[in-house]
Amino acid sequence: MSVTVRFAPSPTGFIHIGNVRTALFNWLYALKNDGQFVLRYDDTDIARSKAEYAEQIAKDLNWLGVKPHRVEYQSKRMANYDEAAQRLKDAGLLYPCYETADELERRRKIRLGRKLPPLYGREALKLTDEEKAAFEAEGRKPHWRFLLPNFENDPFTTKRTEIVFEDAVRGRQAVDLASMSDPVLIREDGTYLYTLPSVVDDIEMGVTHIIRGDDHVTNTGAQIALFEAMGATAPQFGHHNLLTTISGEGLSKRTGALSIKSLEEGGYEPMAVNSLAVLIGTSENVSAVPDMKALAELFDITSTTKSAAKFDPAELDGLNETLVHALTFDDVKERLSAAGVDVADERAKDFWTLIVKNLKKVSDAGDWWPIIANGKASDAVLEGDDLEFASDAFDALPEGPVDNQTWKQWTDALKASSGRKGRGLFMPLRIALTGRAWGPELADLLPLLGREEILARRP
């Protein structure tokens, strides 16, 4: 069977690492199974959906390396939903209800008071045509509920009706359709809630696997019933655990914190984000995986744990650093240029080799380039004995070409002449040469600077 998956974000904010976990689970599943990935904007909520968010989602996915085979907007498929809704109405499976929110709340309280589950009692099914017409004449508009198949002949006498599905992550799940109210599929203003468009699209787009967050497990029972009511077989489901912040709160699109956009702007490597988003909350160790293909090999949906996983942004820094250290000059040339490094300069490639081990982010190289190319920084200054020692030390710079032996020869000579060693010896030289108290290997820095430039840095 060919595999088709979908990622169905609502474009109501910037997507975060938790949303991307869902996208990546789907993407990797498709990759592993030679399947198709549909990006389907769940944008039926016209008031909250924005084109700018949809565009950003496309950019974010592209940056991460997720390349949809097909892109769909639910807002452009209303005719399909209208048609499906009409079929359900004709079959008596979608029925109009006129209760206001207050009326429903009052009934709910009465039921609770009688120690009954607060379910919708299907009162609207009893309305006569005259009663409906009277509501309409009053100006009331109906909302529409899907009649769950949880009864034999009489919808007012429900019976335990288990919908059982084998979840790729959570194993066998059973939901009793008699334990829930008939879901509202169409609001009073005629707009669709997520359920119907989602099921219609899953059928029409040939979705074979629905991989999504486990906040949707409880929706699945009614959705499977809806698939069947529309004459289709439900796809396979896999509900993965959600990510929370370190303090256990859910991630929110609203705050923009940890949005993929902010991580990109913060200079993170996409594969650092992907590695963490996919491997956290699984039995696999979280490690820095260099590319999507390797990540697909590690990915196994069944190794996802059931409980929520805490996401620590600090972990991202470590993964990022590991990935950055493995990058070659050619990998980063364009980004170095954007960070202000003159990549056409003959020293640029050696500069990268020198500096890469000191970097947490590629863009940080932009900070070091002027120090190497133009002159030292002034972050650290020399004083007193250290200043005197460093200044004199330049007289002892070994003769001849400066190469990777020069540092050792120079410092051996200085050790003997000054009696200084360790930090007391190296730090004044480091500060004299770079203007910083930390940085790249000085043995490698010297040949890059060259004799003239070294001597010009005498304090």
- Return the range that interacts with ligand GLU (CB under 6 A); candidates 2-10, 27-35, 59-67, 71-79: 2-10
Among the listed residues 13, 42, 72, 235, the single contact to ligand GLU using CB under 6 A: 42
* C-alpha span between 186 and 88 (Å, rounded): 12
By beta-carbon proximity to ligand GLU, the closer residue of 212 and 361 is: 212
216 binds ligand GLU (CB under 6 A): yes
420 binds ligand GLU (CB under 6 A): no
Q: How far is the CB of 316 from ligand GLU (least distance, A)?
A: 23
Query: 146, 197, 183: which is closest to 43 by C-alpha?
Result: 197
Per residue in 276-305, is it b (16+ CB within 10 Å) or e — as a string?
bbbbbbbeeebebbeebeebbebbebeebe
Q: How far is the CB of 236 from ligand GLU (least distance, A)?
A: 13
26 binds ligand GLU (CB under 6 A): no
Question: What residues are designated binding site for ATP?
Answer: 253
CA angle 160, 163, 165 (to 5 degrees): 150
282 binds ligand GLU (CB under 6 A): no
By beta-carbon proximity to ligand GLU, the closer residue of 212 and 240 is: 212
Question: What residues are designated binding site?
Answer: 253
Q: How far is the CB of 245 from ligand GLU (least distance, A)?
A: 19
Among the listed residues 5, 8, 168, 203, the single contact to ligand GLU using CB under 6 A: 8
By beta-carbon proximity to ligand GLU, the closer residue of 25 and 98 is: 25
10 binds ligand GLU (CB under 6 A): yes
Binding positions for ligand GLU, 180-209, rule CB under 6 A? 194, 198
C-alpha Rg value of the chain to the nearest Å: 32
Give the number of residues written for the chain.
459
* C-alpha span between 94 and 183 (Å, rounded): 10
- HSE-CB of 49 using CA atoms within 13 angstroms: 18
- Whether the CA torsion 437, 439, 440, 445 is positive or negative: it is negative
Among the listed residues 16, 170, 209, 212, the single contact to ligand GLU using CB under 6 A: 212
Show the tokens assigned to 286.
Answer: 């979280």
Q: With contacts defined by CB under 6 A, how many residues of the chain interact with ligand GLU?
A: 8
| Helical segments of 326-458, H only | 329-338, 348-355, 365-373, 384-393, 406-418, 422-434, 442-456
Q: How far is the CB of 10 from ligand GLU (least distance, A)?
A: 4
Q: How far is the CB of 41 from ligand GLU (least distance, A)?
A: 9
Quick one: which H or E segment has residue 29?
helix 17-32
What residue ranges bind ligand GLU (CB under 6 A)?
8-10, 42, 194, 198, 212, 216
